[in-house]
Amino acid sequence: MIWLKNLEAITHGGPPGKCPHCGGSHTDCSFSVVVPEKRLGYGDIWCEDCKHACHISRIEVLPGFRTGHTPPEGLVYS
């Protein structure tokens, strides 16, 4: 998974970091909680520069994660 380092950075409470596709620093992320008792949900990490994105279908949404935000249109999932 090419976005693994970005996911690790988020898990450690930081910003997503550089885009693994273009090296740009305009990355963003958003998560949604589906099962509140277990904080289980899904999320997306994307790059505003090249529009590449990664969907995480199952993840524990930690308290510091950014939620309630919709990814922009036209992302390319890889």
DSSP string, 14-75: S---S-TTT--S-EEEEEEEEETTTTEEEEEEEETTT-EEEEEEEEE--TTS-BS-PPPTT-
In the bound state with Zn ion, the residue whose beta carbon lies nearer, of 21 and 66, is: 21
Minimum distance between the CB of residue 60 and Zn ion, rounded to whole angstroms?
26
Minimum distance between the CB of residue 74 and Zn ion, rounded to whole angstroms?
13
Considering only residues 15 to 74 of the shown chain, the ones binding Zn ion according to CB under 5 A are 19, 21-22, 24, 47, 49-50
User: Which residues of this protein are in contact with Zn ion, per CB under 5 A?
Assistant: 19, 21-22, 24, 47, 49-50
